[in-house]
Structure 1
């Protein structure tokens, strides 16, 4: 595997980057294809369904809706309007009759008879007039309208004329009250006989004489007439309301249209055709939409990786790692989606935090944020229950919070327990998000469901931590990607190579620790990898252990061996230490980033001391013979370490380092390296160099700060 990646290193990084984007885009398309693409069927009417078929979309069955509307219209009764004018007109006829009867009775007593009775002191009301009923009938008929005289017989009129005053009042009240009640109910043309029968029944319940009842019945039969008339406007309004109250016949996405073994009726066949399960035409558009979505998400990833991912200084293995994380994450999502239902929301178990943890550990926070958003968008499609056109926003929101919480909680890796602490925090966030969904839902959840789904969220977080710790060695060893956890392991003082430096070259070990402190602070000030700079600084002078006493920091209590060598021999030993160190690092299979820094930390600089010493002997000496073979620093971390290495060694050689001297020394070293072109391949900017100067100065002045000079014992005695 490693040999394969060594070969891939020689590939054009841009080409590999493009291939990686193609893999990401194709993965998005393929993993979400079944969630938007609908399978079609070749089915004949009245055959038996070979499987249960569900609707892929939500659509209105217009034919069924129209049928329901027709039924609703047919169920609407005709609307009638009661005419108050007709009612009052018919009641006025009754009033006219009784008024006429009252008038006839009053005029039956003439004025002459009244004078005669007054002389005899007789009350006229106690006198029975012998005027014939026929005369009264004649007078009454003269007072009544033609409609009444035509409708009522003479016998009926005579019965009414002969009523007493009490009977008149009772009859009038009974007849008008009954008629008003019947009219208020509304009398249609077909209901006249029924209304007349009702009036007859009411009259029969009275205590009046039969003749009077018959007369009143005749009056009522005449008075009863149609007063309720059909209203086209009201009927149409009622039909409109009935249509509006009909709910559309909807076929919901995921709804079973036909079950396995069920006969395909005409209605079912029409529904299958309506939702597009019998035709391939409709399936083209979801594919186009999915293709566009894949392009958009791939474009977002391309933009983010181009900005937040240092492509030039990353080889193919880093791009391969991104592709592996992406494809595996989508694969796990797809696998879980096959077992997810509305009742059992297994996406809460999704160990999505693994991807965010790996991306942050292997790369950076901005890359993690970008991929978190993309994963969440894809999750809304994958967990849609394979219902085209629908999105599971709940799944997307849940997975987004799970990723963001793990990314934020993982501040700095000190050991592998840090990952477990991070996933515990993620588990708490997962539970809170799940409870939020439950409490916002209108559905009633049982306590068992609350604990079950919350448990899913917490288990998903714990599994994420286990997977992260289990997968990291694959990226660190097999793919050779340097992670923070790997760097922390390499920084342990118990590492064999660090112990080798400590025991064989203690001065070099102390120098490396000082360079590590300076490099880490300087790298963090410009946004470079401070942890990588620290650990690489520990190993950058490992090659000095081959000839430790030929380096001044290890010459404690011995004469300088270079005094017995020629400048050429001394220079050969000095110039070889970066490559001796790189060779030892390769033998111990340390990460390539640390090996590269060990080789590059001197770049192609000149060993000035021995060069000028040889020049005193031979003016024709070649400068290239006294320069390091290189290469020059290729990364910001390597360039910073090269500066800090030279500055620390130079400051340590000062007798009385002061702030001004230190600043002048830093400026001089950086200026010489710039003039010599040592930073040409490192991508350092002048602004970053100024930050590096300031940080190194502050750190060194903190170490070599001015101390108070305490008075000597003799001076103190003199003061006394």
Structure 2
């Protein structure tokens, strides 16, 4: 019970310490992200007067509508809409009918005169005078006509020869129709009458006929185009709605260097907030919220890293350091980037995720790739507050994801260059997609330049990764897969030493490495770390190799001539002799921990019980390894596989049943002895480890055909 309380206190202190570490790292990252991107959202305010000369080219920091200019443009557009008029067909027909009536009345008067003369036998009857004809004509004409036309005009028409009158009627009607067709308004009445008279004047009539017809035209032409208020209002509404808002676009030049600050320019600067610092508070608040959100994601990921890697401070430090390097690199390039010179395409941003995948985990690389892409879209917004460079963000995200995907099967540093080649293909495709999606026309030379940018970014990322990786491995002591592969080479001095001085232990370590790697990969642990750790876990046996049975080939066992206590001291010292040797050769801490933990606090039963037969008061603690117990999954699995390999190797005729019994017995013994209590292995993990080890051993110790021996003659 006391032991559980002590363990709970240690866990609580460890969790508190981890959260404090994460909090400090998160605050540092948040503050750095905020201040590095502040200049991209903070608008510079100018102290400038009207009619002064601009000392620099000033651009709008935001996109905003110039409402005053929009209203002016709308007002001008509405005023330019002409009034709408409707041509009245009724008035047109009425005036044409009046004209026809005049000529028809004269024809009827002539017809009556002719009939009278034929029926009247008195040839001496006096004919009607012109005045009488006019009076007779006025009796049959409408009042509207007689009120408008003078007696002189009617007299001239009556006395006009019939043929000439008919021709005049035809010309007059054509002139009236042409005039009415275009519409006659009040303000254009005089010009419409004048046009009708001109048509008549150009006809082949004498002066008297032309004058009479002109007077008729003057009478007939009246206003027939009536103002339509409803149509005019509708047209003006449509015109007003068609006016596009006058926008001041972000990045648009308001005034160039040396130009005069006119009233219009001054008002535009005031509108976009270049004269008033109050507007700056909102972008800063927005940036603060965004940075806080991104930092929370980083904190969550760092918490996951601490749980997975047992509160490894070095990995937290590497996240902070890599983030600072990557974001600083983007900021430096952004200082030389313009809208016409898109240098962000050449930023080797993938360096960060390549390092994170090798030093920490692929999941962390994916999470941080998204965060770096978002920050890149802010940093490369050309210092236009409120805008994000989506093109840069997409490019950065796809480039980083490509780096993560193509960095596979790492065997040496050339794998990073191979990932750079794959990344360059993705960069080129992304850039070409931007070109083809754009409405702008690109010259072939520009396409080649941008393609070169994509290739350059990929290989710069690979080269920087190769250059920075040793720094993180050496200064922070972080173990990467490439470092592990280098340590697994048989040409390593310590492995050569183990092979030459303790060949049995070397073979034993190889077998333990095979078992451990397979078991770790089955439960999702680091199989490569387990393999390399197993290679070095018994390095301490090289101090006294002949005191270990696997190295006692054709020699007498030296333990037979020394006391059990001396034998125990020699055996117990080998994990710590190995750790000291590994530390001297600057082997990574993870492997040193495996060497010192692979026996935990287990009991040397053989020598303990051998001594107990002679001395009943023997202390068990004298025959136990001082520990520590395995702290990681890899160390715990090596602890199990180390015992399993030795036990199975001791079997004269290993069968599947014997292998399964030994493996189950050893795992059960480690659990009951508490050797796995401080490791993160679960019961489910142990079941899977047991099955995997059994399957592997069955493959190694499978049945073989017994070939007959040739009898000697």
Tell me the TM-score normalized by structure 1: 0.93
Q: Which residue of 2 aligns with 1:61?
A: 66
Aligned partner of 1:252 among 236, 249, 255: 249
Structure 1 position 133, deviation (Å): 4.6
1:81 and 2:83 matched: no
Aligned partner of 2:118 among 113, 128, 140: 113
Q: Which residue of 2 aligns with 1:524?
A: 521
Q: Bigger CA drift: 342-351 or 249-258?
A: 249-258
Aligned partner of 2:298 among 290, 293, 301: 301
1:43 and 2:43 matched: no
Q: Structure 1 185/494 Cα, relative in aligned 2: closer, same or farther at 3 Å?
A: same
1:98 and 2:95 matched: no
- What is the total number of aligned residue pairs between the two structures? 696
Q: Bigger CA drift: 283-292 or 263-272?
A: 263-272
Q: Which residue of 1 aligns with 2:28?
A: 23
Paired residues of 1:258 and 1:264 also in contact (CA < 8 A): yes
Q: Which residue of 1 aligns with 2:455?
A: 458
1:243 and 2:240 matched: yes
1:320 and 2:317 matched: yes
* 3-state SS of paired residue (1:463): helix
Supply the distance in 2 between the matched residues of 1:331 and 1:367 (Cα, whole angstroms). 20
Q: Structure 1 107/129 Cα, relative in aligned 2: closer, same or farther at 3 Å?
A: farther
Q: Bigger CA drift: 139-148 or 672-681?
A: 139-148
Matches within 5 A, 1:426-465: 426-465=423-462
**Residues 161-212 of structure 1: CA deviation (Å, up to 9, x unaligned):** 2444433432222111111111122222232222222222211222233322
Matches within 5 A, 1:592-671: 592-671=589-668
Q: Which residue of 2 aligns with 1:424?
A: 421
* 3-state SS of paired residue (2:278): coil
1:32 and 2:20 matched: no
Which stretches in structure 2 are left out of the alignment for 5+ residues? Answer: 1-13
Paired residues of 1:309 and 1:367 also in contact (CA < 8 A): no
Supply the distance in 2 between the matched residues of 1:692 and 1:97 (Cα, whole angstroms). 122
Q: Bigger CA drift: 172-181 or 398-407?
A: 172-181
**Residues 220-273 of structure 1: CA deviation (Å, up to 9, x unaligned):** 111111222333333323332332333322111112223334333322222221
Aligned partner of 1:12 among 5, 14, 17: 17
Paired residues of 2:18 and 2:306 also in contact (CA < 8 A): no
* 3-state SS of paired residue (2:441): coil
Q: Bigger CA drift: 195-204 or 687-696?
A: 195-204
Supply the distance in 1 between the matched residues of 2:585 and 2:309 (Cα, whole angstroms). 27
Supply the distance in 1 between the matched residues of 2:155 and 2:54 (Cα, whole angstroms). 85
1:684 and 2:681 matched: yes
Supply the distance in 2 between the matched residues of 1:58 and 1:537 (Cα, whole angstroms). 63
Q: Structure 1 184/11 Cα, relative in aligned 2: closer, same or farther at 3 Å?
A: closer
Q: Which residue of 1 aligns with 2:337?
A: 340
1:264 and 2:269 matched: no
**Residues 596-637 of structure 1: CA deviation (Å, up to 9, x unaligned):** 100000000001100010011111110000000100001100
Supply the distance in 1 between the matched residues of 2:531 and 2:308 (Cα, whole angstroms). 23
Which stretches in structure 1 are left out of the alignment for 5+ residues? Answer: 1-8, 118-127, 715-720
Aligned partner of 2:349 among 316, 340, 352: 352
Supply the distance in 2 between the matched residues of 1:625 and 1:311 (Cα, whole angstroms). 35
Q: Which residue of 2 aligns with 1:205?
A: 202
Structure 1 position 311, deviation (Å): 6.0
**Residues 473-516 of structure 1: CA deviation (Å, up to 9, x unaligned):** 10111111111111111111010000000000000000000000
Q: Bigger CA drift: 38-47 or 454-463?
A: 38-47
Supply the distance in 2 between the matched residues of 1:488 and 1:539 (Cα, whole angstroms). 13
Aligned partner of 1:175 among 172, 175, 178: 172
* 3-state SS of paired residue (2:678): coil
Q: Which residue of 2 aligns with 1:365?
A: 362
Q: Bigger CA drift: 503-512 or 306-315?
A: 306-315
**Residues 287-345 of structure 1: CA deviation (Å, up to 9, x unaligned):** 11111111111111122232354366243222111111001100001111111122211
Q: Which residue of 2 aligns with 1:481?
A: 478
Paired residues of 1:505 and 1:544 also in contact (CA < 8 A): yes
Supply the distance in 1 between the matched residues of 2:316 and 2:465 (Cα, whole angstroms). 18
Q: Which residue of 1 aligns with 2:157?
A: 160
Supply the distance in 2 between the matched residues of 1:705 and 1:421 (Cα, whole angstroms). 40
Supply the distance in 2 between the matched residues of 1:485 and 1:75 (Cα, whole angstroms). 76
Q: Structure 1 265/113 Cα, relative in aligned 2: closer, same or farther at 3 Å?
A: closer
* 3-state SS of paired residue (1:81): strand
Supply the distance in 2 between the matched residues of 1:45 and 1:665 (Cα, whole angstroms). 93
1:375 and 2:372 matched: yes
Q: Bigger CA drift: 247-256 or 381-390?
A: 247-256
Q: Structure 1 699/129 Cα, relative in aligned 2: closer, same or farther at 3 Å?
A: farther
1:144 and 2:141 matched: yes
Supply the distance in 2 between the matched residues of 1:79 and 1:462 (Cα, whole angstroms). 70
Tell me the TM-score normalized by structure 2: 0.94
Paired residues of 2:408 and 2:415 also in contact (CA < 8 A): no
Paired residues of 2:305 and 2:311 also in contact (CA < 8 A): no
